[in-house]
Chain A
């Protein structure tokens, strides 16, 4: 297994900069997710690691060894494509054995390996079929088997679950995670689905506009988003973020509808030093609670019920707070009527403030 390192990597397509000066460390034997919306450059990043694209500038290292100018086949990688890219004219057995045949391995060895990997992925009964005769989930396993059969040092996965239906996706998600742990292989996983990234990865790398927005373990990225993009991209529903006025007259505070939030310590200092008239205020929907009368142990806002969506396990209440729509996850027993006035309570340590211009989280600056 290897670690992968990207050093100041830039990739341009004509005048479009798909990946911009990226530095990235992908740890050995761990599961790393590259997370971003479509067009963010995440697949380009994966293809750069695979060698399908060559960087316009920068270096790619495998275990410290420069592979920038190596062809894909010289990098010992396995790649699972979004559309699986199974050879439609070859049976499953031939699909899986193809990489070994190209490597001119002895027949008996190939047969042993193919059956081994097929058994591991529970597709050993499908070896005589053609890809078109398989379900989406089965095709996915065949693609995985083909990528793994040559024992690559890095496994690259390009949105491998996005062509599956929702139920199957959850099932394969946990299987894939387990498989990676069992094999101890370095895996890089591209996805636009934040829940997938959080659920599977040891390390999440959030990408937008070809730039890495934040990297870290899933909990860290979720709890402490570095900027507005990360906060509003991760979470379902994502964090609520809206502009609020700043009042620096006595102590640094932000003015909320029906309340006020005066941070303490370093955050107060940063808010003061920022010296701007407005900042962006944010919190996660599950961190807030709703009350008919104001409580006094947290940050208080007044809002008006806009819609109530019962989801069984929980209820999502959308509220209008000073013209902004804000979502709060409430217990399943929550009831209420439209236009009812309620109070939103957010614990002080769960509140986030962002610089309105740089969109950076004030808590994490420095």
Chain B
């Protein structure tokens, strides 16, 4: 994980006026990023697009209200009902929660096995996982969609098709996260002392008991980290949701995509889209505020593997 020796023993390498220059340069380089994100967030609370520091604007909640009322044009014509908007948010949550559940279920026990058990192909399949993580997703999605479409048309009765497509999109999207999640969790399992497990086995417990009662409770931060990454992956997904869910089942992603790609830009009121975008960005921001260390450490640990 992250070494943390440097700063306790010695201060930062660059101090004084030089550090201000460096921070200034960093700010300048980060400027597009800062501008772009603040444009989105400020605009969502403004009566016009606040795309640069010289724009005069009034603070307002109108965009948020309009979004939740489904009034998505300058003329405040109602394009969606509030129910439909909530449904969209609900769909996004369903996909994100579903992906989280599948990723945890699919990776926790395997990560344990990779960390703790000896079996044939252990190393080979661990390498394969790494390859799969970097596998051209676009090549997979062609095959995945074919399987989906084929099974949908051949075997799924029309009234179950929506359910099936949710089911499928969750499993397919979650699978993309499985290899890296196994790697990340394995790293956490690796740090649990072996003696705890041996104690269980000596005392007559099974592997499952050792996993469930001695090891799993100690990798809660790892489970949390993987859950967060999985949730965000499901939450942010556009491509899978767009392709697999029927057109009448929108998520925040496909909603925004539809608004911007449909050519309805003239009528679409961009500050309202900013409100939708800011709402959509909310979980990311929350996780960044509350679990920043965990995110950073997991990223460096997980990516290293």
Contact = CB atoms under 8 A, between A and B. Distances in A.
Interface stretch (A69-77, A161-169, A289-297, A313-321): A69-77
Contact of A87 (B196, B201, B204): B196
Interface stretch (A95-103, A262-270, A338-346): A95-103
Given A88-B218, A89-B218, A102-B200, A83 B205 contact: no
Contacts of B196: 85, 87
A150 B202 CA distance: 11
Contacts of A242: none
B160 to A, nearest CB: 42
A89 B217 contact: yes
Given A73-B204, A150-B203, A85 B198 contact: yes
19 contacts: A50-B198, A52-B201, A52-B202, A72-B198, A73-B202, A73-B204, A73-B205, A79-B199, A82-B195, A85-B193, A85-B195, A85-B196, A87-B199, A87-B214, A88-B218, A102-B205, A146-B199, A146-B203, A150-B203
A84 B196 CA distance: 9
- Which of A71, A73, A150: most chain B Cβ within 10 A? A73
B209 interface: yes
Interface string B217-250: 1100000000000000000000000000000000
Interface string B151-172: 0000000000000000000000
A229 interface: no
Interface string A41-59: 0000000001110000000
Contacts of A52: 198, 201-202
The 10 closest A-B pairs by CB, nearest first: A85-B195, A99-B203, A73-B204, A81-B195, A72-B202, A89-B217, A102-B204, A102-B205, A85-B196, A85-B199
**What interface size band does chain A fall in?**
20 to 34
A242 B76 CA distance: 100
A83 B196 CA distance: 10
Contact of B195 (A71, A83, A98): A83
Contacts of A83: 193, 195
Contacts of B193: 83, 85
Nearest to B215: A87
Nearest to A74: B204
Given A52-B201, A82-B195, 18 more contacts: A73-B202, A73-B203, A77-B202, A78-B202, A79-B198, A83-B193, A83-B195, A85-B198, A87-B196, A87-B199, A87-B214, A87-B217, A89-B217, A98-B200, A98-B213, A99-B204, A102-B203, A146-B199
Given A71-B201, A150-B203, A102 B195 contact: no
Contacts of B218: 88-89
A88 B218 CA distance: 8
Contacts of A103: 203-204
Interface in B19-74: none
Interface string B170-207: 00000000000000000000000101101111111100
Contacts of A98: 200, 203, 213
Contacts of A50: 198, 202
B199 to A, nearest CB: 5
Contacts of B214: 87
A76 to B, nearest CB: 9
A48 B273 CA distance: 66
A250 B221 CA distance: 79
Nearest to A84: B195
A329 B232 CA distance: 70
A113 B204 CA distance: 17
A52 B201 CA distance: 9
B223 to A, nearest CB: 13
Interface in A1-59: 50-52
A98 B199 CA distance: 10
Contacts of A146: 199, 203
Contacts of A87: 196, 199, 213-214, 217
Contacts of B201: 52, 71-73
A140 to B, nearest CB: 14
A34 to B, nearest CB: 18
A37 B243 CA distance: 64
A77 B202 CA distance: 7
A90 B204 CA distance: 18
A50 B203 CA distance: 11
A240 B283 CA distance: 71
A102 B198 contact: no
